[in-house]
Copies of this chain bind each other. A is one copy, B any other.
């Protein structure tokens, strides 16, 4: 979760009502919304807030390191915003319903260390994306397959 007020007031930008509202909305959402999805919620609550402001605020938050943008799927159009920094967790995505599950795993550090040793490249960030099918979608899929047979 972002500790919005504090982190932000100590950094470069100004705290405005629009930014506060966008931040509060982002924190209230449990998933990884696109800019448009976030805009829809923000706009419903505060119709005077413009779409550009949402985009600008998200970009600003990303440069501040408070959120990270993701593209879990190579062919998806819109970026999704993760209300946490990029560096400290990984993701599972259901290919059917886009459910996102976050996780951590200590072995990533071993992988990074091995890679750096083998390739003489300096790694500063790592992310794992797992893709698969969640139980609900699995049930639906097998049900559909059974009906077809």
- Stretch in A6-14, A20-28, A39-47, A133-141 touching the partner: A133-141
A111 adjacent to B128 (CB under 8 Å)? yes
Interface size range of chain A in the complex? 35 or more
A126 close to B (CB within 8 Å): yes
Q: Which of B118, B128, B135 contacts A127 (CB 8 A)?
A: B128
A71 at the interface (CB under 8 A from B): yes
The complex places the Cα of A70 from the Cα of B127 at a distance, in Å, of 14
CA distance A131 to B94 in the complex (A): 24
- Cβ of B129 and Cβ of A127 under 8 Å apart? yes
Chain B minimum-CB-distance residue to A131: B125
Contact between A133 and B124, CB atoms less than 8 A apart: yes
